[in-house]
Amino acid sequence: MDRRSFLKNSTPILLLLTNGKLLYRSVSSLANAGKSVKFRFAVASDGHFGQPKTSWENDYANIIQHINQQHKKSRLKTCIINGDIIHDDPAMLPLAKQRLDQLKMPYYVTQGNHDRVNAEVWQNTWKMPVNHAFELDKQVFLLATTSNEKGEYVCPDLDWMRAQLEKYKAAPNVFIAIHITPVKWTDNGIACPEFISLLKDHKNVRAVFNGHDHDQDDMKETEGIPFLFDSHIGGSWGTTYKGFRMVEVLSDNTIATYILNPGVKLNEHQLRARQQAVAS
């Protein structure tokens, strides 16, 4: 097999190693290493249910079908829907929930800037608050709002986040899901330096998942913390495809993550290996 064919047929996975280093390995090399997946979940964002002049109904149907297919193929413990579930109109929220209830695995949600309802409506709809923590098979998830009823961009609630990080300081892995990027990497991000400083001091924070930036499907890093983007599942702009992110916790606590586009994994050039700027 020539090099071009090998690259085309090898599936790249970005590995977030426990020693702070990042590298690629293909599915085949991962299997040869004898590592098994002990926990697998999906992250999807930006469905924009109800956005005029978009194919929002088909977008939701398609992505739910693909996520359920992944669940059938390789059991997902959970799915995180990371904000902008609807597009501004509060009347769409219960309708979007009806669609998401078709997912075959437990799912959890975060509030985005287009999810323009108050905290009470959010709680009543999803049966979880806008800031929500849960633990599943020793994996901890912190889901925090980065917006409000007006659609304003806000940084995560530091007091809430600090309390949760302290509560779960002994957990092997903490995953954080927030809709809006807390670093000004993109036109649509905001600067939240106190939030970054807080995370820097908690080494069991393995990754932060961002939505919001529909045209981002890679990883960015600051202070040794990986920030992962997942493209979009709907809306009027962004990557040329509508996909979602898969995350796998392996038997040695290595974390592998990749984008699905949405039925197949992305080619190697769509993910870039990075080195974290912290010592092991």
**Domain tally for the chain?**
1
Q: Which of 231, 175, 179 is nearest to 204 (CA)?
A: 175
Cβ neighbours, 10 Å, residue 213: 24
- Residue linked to tokens 């978009």: 54
> How many Å apart are CA 90 and CA 217, to the nearest integer?
28
In a domain, 209, yes or no: yes
Of these ranges, 10-19, 172-181, 260-269, the one predicted with the greatest mean pLDDT is: 172-181
Residue 32 has pLDDT above 90, yes or no: no
Q: How many helices (H) and strands (E) does the chain have?
A: 7, 13
Q: Are 60 and 48 in contact (CB under 8 A)?
A: no
136-157 pLDDT, tens digit each? 999 999 999 999 999 999 999 9
Predicted local confidence at residue 108, as pLDDT: 98
Beta-strand runs (E) in 98-230: 107-110, 132-136, 139-144, 173-178, 205-210, 219-222, 225-229
> How many Å apart are CA 253 and CA 206, to the nearest integer?
10
Q: Which residues of 93-122 are buried (b: 16+ CB within 10 A; e: fewer)?
A: beebbebbeebebebbbbbbbbbbbeeeeb
Q: Which of 169, 162, 201, 196 is nearest to 182 (CA)?
A: 196
In a domain, 83, yes or no: yes
In a domain, 275, yes or no: no
In a domain, 97, yes or no: yes
Q: Are 81 and 64 in contact (CB under 8 A)?
A: no
Alpha-helical (H) ranges within the chain are: 3-9, 27-32, 56-73, 93-100, 119-126, 158-167, 193-200
Of these ranges, 14-18, 74-78, 260-264, 265-269, the one predicted with the greatest mean pLDDT is: 74-78
231-272 pLDDT, tens digit each? 999 999 999 999 999 999 988 888 899 999 876 664 322 222
Predicted local confidence at residue 35, as pLDDT: 74
Ranking 31-35, 216-220, 224-228, 233-237 by mean pLDDT, the lowest is 31-35
> pLDDT confidence of 178, banded at 50, 70, 90?
very high
264-274 pLDDT, tens digit each? 664 322 222 22
Predicted local confidence at residue 13, as pLDDT: 56
Q: Alpha-carbon torsion 93, 102, 46, 226, what sign?
A: positive
Percentage above 90 pLDDT, the chain: 75
> How many Å apart are CA 112 and CA 267, to the nearest integer?
29
In a domain, 276, yes or no: no
Mean pLDDT of 117-130: 98
Q: Are 60 and 50 in contact (CB under 8 A)?
A: no
Non-local CB neighbours of 138 within 8 Å, separated by 6+ positions: 171, 172, 173
CATH number at residue 217: 3.60.21.10
Ranking 7-11, 99-103, 129-133, 205-209 by mean pLDDT, the lowest is 7-11
Mean pLDDT of 34-38: 82
> How many Å apart are CA 251 and CA 196, to the nearest integer?
28
In a domain, 186, yes or no: yes
In a domain, 194, yes or no: yes
Residue 11 has pLDDT above 90, yes or no: no
Predicted local confidence at residue 236, as pLDDT: 96
- How confident is the prediction for the chain on average, in pLDDT? 86
By residue range, what is the domain housing residue 258? Answer: 3-269
List Cα–Cα distances, 15 to 139, 221, 228, 246, in angstroms.
17, 14, 12, 12
In a domain, 200, yes or no: yes
